[in-house]
Structures are given as structure tokens and as C-alpha cells.
Amino acid sequence: MEAAMEYVTTLPAETLHAFTRSVFERAGFSAQHAADGADVLLWASRRGVDTHGVRNLKLIYLRMLEAGQLNTKANFVVEHETPVSVRANGDGGLGLASASWAMRLAMDKAEQSGMAFVTVRNTNHYGAAGFYPAMALGRDMIGISMAGRFNGQGTEIGVMPTFGSVPMFSTNPIAIAFPTQDEAPWVLDMATSIAPYNRVVLHRENGLPVPPQWGLTDDGEPTPDAQLMHKMWPLGGDRAHGGHKGYGLSMMVATMCGVLSGGWDEGHDGSEAAFDGYQQDGDSHFFGAIHIDAFRSVDGFKRGMDAMIRALHAGPKEAGQDRIYVAGEIEHETEQERLRDGIPLTAVTVTDLREVAHAYGVALDI
């Protein structure tokens, strides 16, 4: 069983949102990019996805900025376009912003053509994958997002291919959202590894063990020590437990994101990281929007979703369990609680936010 986090205080969601947005602006990002960044991080924090929430403001985004790995003046460029597709370049900017821009573009095109798909290369970590398909729910669309990275020469930390001993993939998430009528929206957000590496880091910074089934040490041994776990299993684990299926999904995401966008491409002969001249240029993403009325009435679809969810709720329960959940339901209920009671923060996150407030001159009363 996964160890529980210890929280030391709470802050209102709107307070953290305003703070995060102001920090991004002070860091040099445009007002729009800062707003998008804050929207994604607080969506995750509200829903209890703390691995991808406001704790990452310093841990990922400001660290990348200070290391010169983020372009604060990024101009997202359409490199190829049809009525139903776009291939874009994220210009090394904030992945939270390029992804939000790309999802809006997919939805706008879907309004005209029924469905549309957008790929983005040369971008960065885009936070909680589920945020982007959830954007489509208010427009009566099915939303899709994926984020993929592939390392042809392997990497120190990541996901191993089946029968491999070196990580070659990131945890390459898949997310999809379906609108409903009365039930909570169905939002699936899953890594194609057993656990996202962000969760290992969250356990590490809070001094907690991890389930040893999640991954291995550098020497290939299972471990409950989050400090030592670097090699992640694909979803399922080893071959005997279906890990080849998670591996296949991970490569599918890498293809839809990296190969389709041109992020994984040739022309890198001078780089030691390149494999036969191929290398991935930053992270790559894939977004889709499907207007339901391209297939059937919106009301009919939503009623059907509600009926399916209720049938699952009414199904016989496993011994000791009083409820069957569907994707996104726990997070939806957590969001209602946190909007009422505030966002809980660990001691590590409190320290990080105080340091950020001081460094960027943005007030935050914790």
C-alpha cells in the first residue's frame, strides 16, 4: 500500500492561483502564458493530483527557467496545417502554455470540421495530462492529450522497454475526457508506467517509501527506497505480468507525439545522444478534440455516459468495498472538498513556496 502524505497547512485555491500566476509573470512569461501555467497547476492541486500541482512551480518550472531551459518569450508557430490538423513548434517555451494553446487550437478547428488534432514539438513538461482534454468538456467535445519523450541512447531515469535494462521512455501519459449529463465528467489521466516518476519524487522529498513493484535501482533490483528507484516498469511490470502492453502504449505515445510532430527526427549527427542521427527535440505533445455531434446528438451521448456510469456504480462490489468508481470521480469529489477547505500543503512545498515568494517578490501569507 502506498504511504500517505502528511500535510501541515492549507491555502485557498484562489490564493495559490493568483500567487502562481504572479510568479510566472515576474519570471518573465507573458500574462497569457502565466495564466495558462497557473490554470494547469491549480487544476491538479484542486483535484488531489499533488504530484503535478503547485509543488512543481519551483521543482520543475522555475528550476528549468533558472537553468536556461525555458524560453520566456516563446512564440508558438504553426509549421503545417490542414482543416483537421496542425503540426506546431513550441519554441522551447513553457509546456503548460504551449499545450493550452494547442488544445484551444484543436477545439477551434473541431468546431468547424467536427474533429481536429494538433501535435507540438520543441516544448517542455506540460503538467497534468488530464487538464487538456477536460478543457473540451465545456464545448461538448471529447478531448485527448498525450505527452511523449523517447531517448534512443537510453537515459538514467525513465521507463524500460520489455526485456530491456536501460530506461528509454519517459512515463508518457495518455488522457481522455468524455462529457456527461448529471454524473461527474469521465476523465482518464494515466501514465504508461506503473507509476509516474513525479510520484517517486514526491515520496522521496517527504521521506516516504514507495511500493517496490514500481521500479528498480540502477543495479536492477526492486526497492522501497525512493532515493534509489530510477528504472521504472512499464504499466503491468515485467513480461509475465503484461508489461509488454504498457511498453506498447508507451511507444504508441512516443510515436503520436514525437514522430508525428517531427520532434523525434534525423539531423543530429553531431550529438552523442543521437541514435543513427535521430534525437528528440525537447518534449512532444499530441492533442485531439472530437465534437460529439459529428457522430450523434450530444444529449444522447451524455445520457448514455450517465447510464454506463450508473450501471457500474450499481454493480456487485468486491468483498470489503462499498463503492465502484469510474475515471476522474475521486478527483472530482476531492476538488469539491478542496475548493471548500483549501489546498493542503506538505512541509516541503510550504518551504519551496516561501522561497519562491522571497526570490520573485510576490507576497504569500502561509
Please report the pLDDT score of residue 31 as a whole number.
98
Q: What's 46's domain CATH number? A: 3.30.1370.60
Domain contains 205: yes
Percentage of the residues of the chain whose pLDDT score is greater than 70: 99
Instruction: Tell me if 162 sits within 8 A of 239, measured CB to CB.
Output: yes
pLDDT band for 1, please (50, 70, 90 cuts): low
pLDDT band for 269, please (50, 70, 90 cuts): confident
Domain contains 2: no
pLDDT (average), residues 175-187:
98
pLDDT tens sequence across 45-95: 999 999 999 999 999 999 999 999 999 999 999 999 999 999 999 999 999
pLDDT tens sequence across 10-24: 999 999 999 999 999
Please report the pLDDT score of residue 2 as a whole number.
66
pLDDT band for 205, please (50, 70, 90 cuts): confident
Q: How does 240-250 read in b/e, with b if 16+ C-beta sit within 10 Å?
A: eeebbebbbbb
pLDDT (average), residues 195-200:
90
Q: What is the total count of domains within the chain?
A: 1
Single-letter code of the amino acid located at 343: I
Contacts of 15 (CB under 8 A, 6+ apart): 364
pLDDT tens sequence across 313-352: 999 999 999 999 999 999 999 999 999 999 999 999 999 9
Residue found under cell 530506461 = 167
Domain contains 320: no
Domain contains 1: no
Question: What 3-state class would DSSP assign to 280?
Answer: strand
Instruction: Tell me if 29 sits within 8 A of 41, measured CB to CB.
Output: no
Please report the pLDDT score of residue 281 as a whole number.
85
Please report the pLDDT score of residue 137 as a whole number.
98
Distance CA 127, CA 169 (A): 17
Our measurement of the distance from residue 309's CA atom to the centroid of its chain's CA atoms, rounded to an integer in Å, reads: 24
Domain that holds residue 344: 7-315+325-360
Distance CA 59, CA 40 (A): 15
pLDDT band for 267, please (50, 70, 90 cuts): confident
pLDDT (average), residues 269-297:
92
Distance CA 199, CA 50 (A): 9
Domain contains 331: yes
Give all strands of the β-sheet with 115-123 in edge-to-edge order.
Answer: 77-82, 85-89, 115-123, 283-291, 141-148, 174-178, 186-190
Give all strands of the β-sheet with 158-159 in edge-to-edge order.
Answer: 158-159, 231-232, 215-216
Domain contains 49: yes
pLDDT (average), residues 153-178:
96
pLDDT tens sequence across 39-59: 999 999 999 999 999 999 999
pLDDT (average), residues 302-320:
97
